[in-house]
């Protein structure tokens, strides 16, 4: 059973388009992270959000943590081929360093 469900599972868009990826759960998380994974590599951290309603921006990427700390979204503006990869959300429960990963969204940006 996955604690975190991501949607969509697969996404293929043209360069320059905008997109949003969702990460949903019925559980409350103390913090939530977004990672990007490229083929043949391990996931790499993009951002951590800890406060309900928090919004963080990383260049063209905007991350939001839901008010109830059960969900999150990642919005990419003007997607580029370099954004291609598997995007994973990961939630922590309690104060430990243990994170539960979502099901993942595979993004392909076509030049």
Partner 1 sequence: DAGVIQSPRHEVTEMGQEVTLRCKPISGHDYLFWYRQTMMRGLELLIYFNNNVPIDDSGMPEDRFSAKMPNASFSTLKIQPSEPRDSAVYFCASSYVGGGTEAFFGQGTRLTVV
Which residues would be at the binding site for partner 1 (CB under 8 A)?
Answer: 2, 31, 33, 40-45, 48, 88, 92, 96-104
Residue (9 or 12) nearer to partner 1, CB: 9
The residue among 71, 67, 97 whose CA lies nearest residue 3 is 71
CB of 23 to partner 1, least distance (A): 12
Three-state DSSP state, 15:
coil
Q: How do strand 71-76 and strand 19-24 relate by DSSP bridges?
A: antiparallel
Q: Which two tokens stand for residue 102?
A: 């979502």
CB of 40 to partner 1, least distance (A): 7
Residue (73 or 103) nearer to partner 1, CB: 103
């Amino acid at each position: 059973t996955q604690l975190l469900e991501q949607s969509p599972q697969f996404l293929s868009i043209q360069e320059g388009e905008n997109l949003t990826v969702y990460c949903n759960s019925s559980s409350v998380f103390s913090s939530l992270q977004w990672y990007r994974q490229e083929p043949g590599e391990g996931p790499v951290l993009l951002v951590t959000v800890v406060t309900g309603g928090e919004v963080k921006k990383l260049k063209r990427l905007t991350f939001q943590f839901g008010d109830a700390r059960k969900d999150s979204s990642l919005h990419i503006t003007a997607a580029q081929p370099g954004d291609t990869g598997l995007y994973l959300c990961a939630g922590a429960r309690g104060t430990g360093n243990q994170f539960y990963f979502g099901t993942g969204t595979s993004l392909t940006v076509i030049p």
